[in-house]
Amino acid sequence: MKELVIVSGKGGTGKTSLTAAFAALATDHVVSDCDVDAPNLHLLLAPKVEKTEDFIASKVASINPELCTECYACKESCRFDAISEELIIDTILCEGCGVCKLVCPVEAVKLEDALSGHIYASETEYCPMAHALLFPGEANSGKLVSRVRQLAKDIAKEKKKELLLVDGPPGIACATIATISGASAGVVVVEPTIPAIHDMERALQLFAHFKIPVMVVINKFDLNLQKTKGIEAYCAEQGVEVVGHIPFDDMMTEAVVAGKPAVIFAPQHTLSKALKDAWASIEERLEQYPSQ
Ligand code: SF4
Ligand code: SF4
């Protein structure tokens, strides 16, 4: 099986719209949405959830008032200031460190699993899908990304699929590293704007660091042809191939509003043709990379 990760240095480059189009064009594959902080691939692929798992990433403390002698040792020891004057634990501030439980002389404190999100195994019109949702304010998205990737691999194994297509999170933080490490290849989606180009460079460095082959697709390339040339020149210098030039067109937004991948919404459109060409180039290069 091969794993292709699609990332962008920054959000808003159209990465998810491109991933949805590739998911509709690919064959023999599973797709996963690893942008767990703000997932939106489901809006374009309309998955039907078949299995839901809880994601437990931390612990949270609680006090049993019937056992508590109001000695305040826990409140004085909590360096996250999570325990109120009324000896009530704020579940948002509590980091689950367990100090309050350790210092309590009467075992009135209990540490319990905290539900941080959900992980879903689903089916779409195009392929099986693994995705997740981290609750607002919850950390540990890197850990959740690893769980979603593992679920996607398990589904691919069970259903004997040859390709895992991953929509990665934006940026190059922990969750992105958790997404790309160990992948067969990557695609960086960039648009011709100064911040997007800067972030593309950082994303390419990340792939180089992990020694993962990477390609670039320029989205909305015709919005600034000079900057598009700059991207091409930079990629050539780095030995990275630009495998797609996607034009700007309102059709992409219309497809998003309709909740469909662009190549399904308007298959004969010039934009869809560019997406199909880009996917054909990516598939061709993927054949050269070893399976995992
Ligand atoms: S578990 Fe740690 S953070 Fe939470 S209330 Fe106890 S001491 Fe404070
Ligand atoms: S340390 Fe135990 S007994 Fe003392 S206030 Fe906290 S919960 Fe109550």
Does ligand 2 come within 6 angstroms of the Cβ of 24? no
Does ligand 1 come within 6 angstroms of the Cβ of 57? no
Structure token digits, residue 86: 């009324």
> 86 C-alpha to center of ligand 1: Å?
15
**Segment 266-290 mean pLDDT:** 94
Read off the pTM: 0.85
Which helix (H) or strand (E) segment holds residue 142: the answer is helix 141-158
Please report, as a single letter, which amino acid is at residue 117.
Answer: G
Does ligand 2 come within 6 angstroms of the Cβ of 63? yes
**Segment 183-209 mean pLDDT:** 92
pLDDT confidence band for 135 (50 / 70 / 90)? confident
> 135 C-alpha to center of ligand 2: Å?
30
| DSSP 3-state of 65 | coil
**DSSP secondary structure, 180-213, as one string:** HTT-SEEEEEE-SSHHHHHHHHHHHHHHHHTT--
Structure token digits, residue 6: 């699609």
Asked, colleague to colleague, whether 2-46+124-286 and 56-115 share their fold, the answer is no
Q: Was domain 56-115 assigned CATH 3.30.70.20?
A: yes
Instruction: Supply the pLDDT for residue 133.
Output: 87
Q: Around Cβ 41, how many Cβ atoms within 10 Å?
A: 24
Find, among 175, 196, 138, the residue nearest to 11 by Cα.
Answer: 196
In angstroms, rounded to a whole number, what is the distance separating the alpha carbons of residues 51 and 152? 13
The class of domain 2-46+124-286 in CATH terms is: alpha beta
Taking the chain, what is the end-to-end CA distance rounded to the nearest angstrom? 6
The dihedrals phi and psi of 47, each to the nearest 5 degrees, come to: -70, 145
> 54 C-alpha to center of ligand 1: Å?
23
Q: Pick 22 or 138 by higher pLDDT.
A: 22
Closest residue to atom 6 of ligand 1, CA basis: 100
Closest residue to atom 3 of ligand 2, CA basis: 68
DSSP state of 83: B
Q: Is the pLDDT confidence value at 221 over 80? A: yes
Atom of ligand 1 nearest to the CA of 90: 5
> 211 C-alpha to center of ligand 1: Å?
41
Atom of ligand 2 nearest to the CA of 63: 7
In angstroms, rounded to a whole number, what is the distance separating the alpha carbons of residues 108 and 152? 41
**Segment 237-244 mean pLDDT:** 96
Q: Is the pLDDT confidence value at 168 over 80? A: yes
Q: Is the pLDDT confidence value at 223 over 70? A: yes
Instruction: Supply the pLDDT for residue 100.
Output: 98
Find, among 261, 258, 216, 210, the residue nearest to 236 by Cα.
Answer: 216
Does ligand 2 come within 6 angstroms of the Cβ of 74? yes
CB under 8 Å to 284, separation ≥6 — which residues?
A: none
Biggest CA pair distance of the chain = 73
Domain ranges in the chain?
2-46+124-286, 56-115
Find, among 244, 254, 238, the residue nearest to 283 by Cα.
Answer: 244
